[in-house]
């Protein structure tokens, strides 16, 4: 069952760039809530509280309870605008969710036991994470904050595909419905020296023609 997290918000009366700029100077973050049968509503949040929340995976993949003076609306974060170089959140978009309607959103992947796996213990094997998140579809009550992938047994040459992920009850990966070609690799354990040898071979083959040309020219 999905966890929920309450975030307190206030109604925002003034809109426009100037009003948003004043809010940011005052330590708040302008935001909007939309979706469902209700009209979009402009709100504001405490920046420090939002910044702290943004350091956790659940802020991006969980159902959030936006509380406006006790009136709670369940939402998902749909967009976040950050300052290009400051540690500052500039704007947030939230979408209302309906308990009876399926939602589609990205969920982070957590990789477990990689260091203690046969591949992880070998200096000759590189384990690559081809994906760090996956889009799932489910009812709001079934939305997981993350999906775990146990790599305890992964060895050289192993590949873990989307279809091999262990999903909670009620959760699906819509990408898999599009055909076998969409069952992409999530984790790959490959022999590291193959790439090094390939690079050496490329360098050698690049040098040979030049040397051969020099020799041919001298013979002429």
Q: Which residues contact 106 (CB under 8 A, 6 or more apart)?
A: 60, 61, 133, 134, 135, 136
pLDDT at residue 48, rounded to an integer: 93
Residue with tokens 């590291």: 192
Phi, psi of 123 (to 5 degrees): -75, -10
Query: Do residues 27 and 46 lie in contact, with contact meaning Cβ atoms separated by under 8 Å?
Result: yes
pLDDT at residue 167, rounded to an integer: 96
For 132, which DSSP code?
S
Interatomic CA distance for residues 167 and 75, integer angstroms: 22
Per-residue pLDDT of the chain (220 residues; tens, 9 = 90+): 456 689 999 988 777 777 788 888 889 999 999 998 889 999 999 999 999 999 998 999 899 999 987 789 999 999 999 999 999 999 999 999 999 999 999 999 999 999 999 999 998 999 999 999 999 999 999 999 999 999 999 999 999 999 999 999 999 999 999 999 999 999 999 998 644 455 555 555 555 554 454 455 555 4
Can you list the domains of the chain with their CATH numbers? 4-96 (2.40.240.10), 103-196 (2.170.120.20)
pLDDT at residue 206, rounded to an integer: 52
pLDDT at residue 2, rounded to an integer: 54
pLDDT at residue 205, rounded to an integer: 52
Which SS3 state, helix, strand or coil, does residue 210 take?
helix
pLDDT at residue 211, rounded to an integer: 47
């Amino acid at each position: 069952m999905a966890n929920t997290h309450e975030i307190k918000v206030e109604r925002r009366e003034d809109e426009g760039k100037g009003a948003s700029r004043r809010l940011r100077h005052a330590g708040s973050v302008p935001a909007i809530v939309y979706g469902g049968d209700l009209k979009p509503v402009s709100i504001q949040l405490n920046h420090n509280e939002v910044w702290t929340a943004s350091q956790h995976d659940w802020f991006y993949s969980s159902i959030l309870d936006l509380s406006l003076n006790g009136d709670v609306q369940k939402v998902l974060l749909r967009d976040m605008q950050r300052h290009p170089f400051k540690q500052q959140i500039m704007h947030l978009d939230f979408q209302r969710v309906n308990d009876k309607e399926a939602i589609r959103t990205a969920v982070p992947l957590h990789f477990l036991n990689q260091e203690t796996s046969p591949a992880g213990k070998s200096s000759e094997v590189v384990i690559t994470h081809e994906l760090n998140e996956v889009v799932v579809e489910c009812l709001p009550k079934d939305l997981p904050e993350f999906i775990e992938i146990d790599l305890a047994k992964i060895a050289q040459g192993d590949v873990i595909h989307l279809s091999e992920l262990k999903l909670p009850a009620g959760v699906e990966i819509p990408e898999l419905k599009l055909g076998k070609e969409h069952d992409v690799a999530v984790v790959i354990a490959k022999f590291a020296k193959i790439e090094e040898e390939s690079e050496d071979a490329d360098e050698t083959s690049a040098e040979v023609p030049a040397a051969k040309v020099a020799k041919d020219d001298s013979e002429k």
